[in-house]
A and B are shown apart, each in its own frame.
Chain A
């Protein structure tokens, strides 16, 4: 399998007053297409920061980030946004849905990012059909027109997953996607994510505190104090 994401020597400092606080101190990692990777670490280890850098929401202080072998960390913000739309799907712990929009509209929104008004108008029916199909796929066919406030936590996260997948990204970056769910709902959501991952052969980078969840991934990357301290194949993967 080809490497779709590679990060080399990533550092990130935040300035507090005149002081530079290092959060990432030189992280190397790569993710292959179709690979599920868990990112484990205590709070403050730099997991979310790394996820934001890899998702091109922020730029590293130093180091390189490559998508399909192309260095992208220094691209202009507009270009980074376009790449993020094409390559990355985000799933967050707190769902981050837009409260004014229905479930369907939240998912459709992700189809509107890279097209002009006229282009979208031409293919709006097709876009709506695929959004409906995606929501049906995550089990929300009956909740299309509900707003986030009218949905349960698990349902909101399913909408977020549908939104992350609608633009057909190559990698999904999930930041503690089950951190705000009860264990039964969390299991349902994870099962759903992994099913879709299998169907579409997506790469998954999953930030979690949950060792159990991490062991369901192909590989675990452990972080501490801004360093990657361990990269292991999980026992499942070794067995395969």
Chain B
């Protein structure tokens, strides 16, 4: 039973002792920090995961030998009841440059693949795709729309590429641009072209670049030509016993740009039709000895597959793929989109975890502030404790005075912190915009992670947990000075000066 004098005195002390404001502000600050920083990190991790997920196929068969054939894997994997679609992928490092001189960026002399600004050094990761099959695994229309939106943010109003809208499957397989577009481009670029536009048939395979590469180039129009250079080892020795190396060069036509949301992917990657890339690597489709070369196979499992079923499917597909590989081949892997980007995602999660630890320390510091203020108050109120005892206050009632005080400080601080935290979460982007507009200060490097705003996501359960946690912590730390007060000898307290 709480004696009436305990809350009465606790509230009186709370109102009259300004030191309590320090405690309230301490808790409020910790709660605010927990909510805002964690809200931003939760939103950040969520958006990053969404971006990464949208840039990767749901499952990817990878770690395949260099001469793997798609046909073999298709036959082995497609009969699985949990597999909906398969698409071949061929990864190849390449260099690409606009053929038109006025569109070239000023790459440094001797720039190389170790330069981190991939958009300027000309190096790219080509991914050869089969447009017909790829659209069944990855939402290409979403990528194209995002690419267009991202460019539009920088004042370049361009509609999304229509390269996948081509009804003719043969033309779609090469990602060919409309005849008129390519003819116009050839005329502009001074490339060979028929004087009569009606006689022209598009022949340059399409090239879809990540919007970040396009963004750094002078204005690129649909159909603008790019020279793509690949290097490969055809096998056998070259002259004087040196390693034989073959470089191939082929013009492609810009077919637009995409945005996956993954900054690095959008900077480095260019999508090309898989057949021309295979040809560049020595596997011409017309050559009867060639194979439909792949480095990876993108896989879409059926919708609604559970986590456990997905893991089982991974293991099953790995076994099936391994079974069709030549004996002695290294183990292949079927990776989820998280596993494909595990290093990046783990780094982000680790950052989140570290920040949570820092915030816990902030919370502990604020708990210490409450402890210090209450302890100081107990020391200042020793004589009062003696007086209350003399008037008939029980030790438990006296302890309750300080416990209630600490609890109210915790509750007020939590409420204030929650209010400030929620307001901050709501206003963080306008405030950030204002700070940037007036002082060039950014609260969060959203550009670094290709986020359109500062992502802030407050989970109601987290808000409640933080508020309750702060109150409980306040009660726990208030218990120590309260116990000291309750155990004080009344005679000693009365004699205290």
Contacts and interface: CB of A to CB of B under 8 A. Distances in A.
Interface residues of A, number: 33
Nearest to A77: B395
Contact of B391 (A110, A115, A117, A121): A110
Interface stretch (A34-42, A91-99, A196-204, A223-231): A91-99
B205 interface: no
Given A82-B392, A96-B383, A101-B12, A112 B494 contact: no
Nearest to B12: A100
A113 interface: yes
B81 to A, nearest CB: 67
B390 interface: yes
Contacts of A96: 383, 386-387, 390, 494
A100 B16 contact: yes
Contacts of B490: 52, 57-58
A34 to B, nearest CB: 22
A223 to B, nearest CB: 18
A81 interface: yes
Secondary structure call for the A interface: mixed
Contact of A112 (B5, B384, B395): B5
A57 B7 contact: no
B394 interface: yes
A163 interface: yes
Given A112-B5, A116-B1, A90 B391 contact: yes
A81 B489 CA distance: 12
Interface in A70-90: 77-78, 81-82, 84-86, 88, 90
Contacts of B2: 116-117
B13 A100 contact: yes
Given A57-B389, A81-B395, A90-B391, A117 B4 contact: yes
A90 B493 CA distance: 15
B396 A78 contact: yes
A97 B12 contact: no
Contacts of B391: 85, 90, 109-110, 113, 163, 167
Interface string B378-415: 00000110111111111111000000000000000000
B411 to A, nearest CB: 17
B229 interface: no
A2 interface: no
Nearest to B5: A112
Contacts of B396: 78
A58 B471 CA distance: 36
B494 A110 contact: no
A92 B5 CA distance: 21
B9 interface: yes
A113 B391 CA distance: 8
Contact of A109 (B1, B5, B17, B494): B5
A177 B454 CA distance: 69
A97 B387 contact: yes
Contacts of A97: 387
B8 interface: yes
Contacts of A163: 391
B491 interface: yes
Which interface residue of A85, A97, A98 has the most chain B CB atoms within 10 A?
Answer: A98
Given A57-B389, A92-B494, A110-B392, A98 B384 contact: yes
Nearest to A169: B392
Contacts of B16: 100
Contacts of A58: 489-491
Contact of B394 (A78, A86, A90, A101): A78
A78 B400 CA distance: 13
A64 interface: no
B10 to A, nearest CB: 11
B5 A113 contact: yes
Contacts of B12: 100-101, 105
B3 interface: yes
Given A55-B390, A84-B390, A98-B384, A113 B3 contact: yes
Interface string A51-62: 010010110000
A120 interface: yes
A117 B394 contact: no
Interface of A: 52, 55, 57-58, 77-78, 81-82, 84-86, 88, 90, 92, 96-98, 100-101, 105, 109-110, 112-117, 119-121, 163, 167
14 contacts: A58-B489, A77-B395, A81-B389, A86-B392, A100-B16, A105-B12, A110-B391, A112-B4, A112-B5, A113-B5, A113-B392, A116-B1, A117-B7, A120-B4
Given A82-B392, A85-B392, A113-B394, 16 more contacts: A57-B490, A77-B394, A78-B395, A78-B396, A81-B394, A81-B397, A96-B390, A98-B384, A98-B388, A100-B13, A109-B8, A109-B9, A113-B391, A114-B392, A117-B2, A163-B391
